[in-house]
Structure 1
Amino acid sequence: MSVSGSTEFDIKATPAQVLDAVAAIEELPTWSGSHKSAVVETRHDDGRPFRTRQKVGAAGITDEQVTDYSWEPNKVSWQLMESGQQSLQIASYTLTPTKSGTHVVLDLEIDVKIPMPGFVLKRILKGALNSGSKDFTKYVESRAARS
Structure 2
Amino acid sequence: MSDQATDSIVVGAPPEAVFAIVADFPNYPSWAADLKEVTVVDVDPDGTAHKVRFRAAAFGRSTTYTLAYDYSNAPNRLTWVQDSGDITARVDGQYEFEPIPEGTRVTYHLEVDLKFPLPGFIKQRAAARIVSTALRQLRDRVETASPPAREEEL
TM-score by length of 2: 0.88
Query: Could you list the per-position Cα deviations for residues 93-112 of structure 1 after superposition, in whole angstroms to 9, with x for gaps in the alignment?
Result: 11111122111111111010
Q: Which amino acid is the alignment partner of residue 86 of structure 1? A: T
Task: Give the equivalent residue in structure 2 for 1:130.
Answer: 132
2:11 equivalent to 1:7: no
* Root mean square deviation, CA, Å: 1.5
Secondary structure of the corresponding residue to residue 147 of structure 2: helix
In the TM superposition, residue 58 of structure 1 has moved relative to its aligned partner by 1.5
3-state SS in 2 of match to 1:4: strand
- AA partner of residue 81 (structure 2): Q
- Name the counterpart of 1:42: 42
Distance in 2 between the 1:89 and 1:138 partners? Answer: 24
- Report what 2:104 is aligned to: 102
Stretch moving more, 137-146 or 45-54: 137-146
Q: Is the 8 A contact 2:6 2:128 kept in 1?
A: no
- The one-letter code sitting in structure 1 at the alignment partner of 2:80 is W
Q: Cα distance, 1:50 vs. partner?
A: 0.7
Q: Could you tell me the percent identity over the aligned residues?
A: 24
Deviations 1:116-141 (A, max 9, x none): 12222122202211122111111111
How far 1:23 moved relative to its partner?
Answer: 1.2
Contact 1:66 1:83 in 2 (8 A): yes
Q: Report the Cα offset of residue 47 of structure 1.
A: 2.2
Q: Which one has the largest radius of gyration?
A: 2
Task: Work out the number of aligned pairs and report it.
Answer: 146
Q: TM-score, normalised by structure 1?
A: 0.92
1:36-115 residue pairs with structure 2 within 5 A? 36-71=36-71, 72-73=73-74, 74-115=76-117
Tell me if the contact between 1:36 and 1:55 (Cα under 8 Å) persists in the aligned partners: yes
State the alpha-carbon separation in 2 of the partners of residues 65 and 80 from structure 1.
7
**Superposed displacement of residue 145, structure 1:** 3.2
Work out the CA distance in 2 between the residues paired with 1:119 and 1:25: 30
Q: Point out where structure 2 has 5 or more consecutive residues left out of the alignment.
A: 149-154
SS in structure 2 at match of 1:145: coil
Q: State the distance in 2 between where 1:139 and 1:67 align.
A: 22
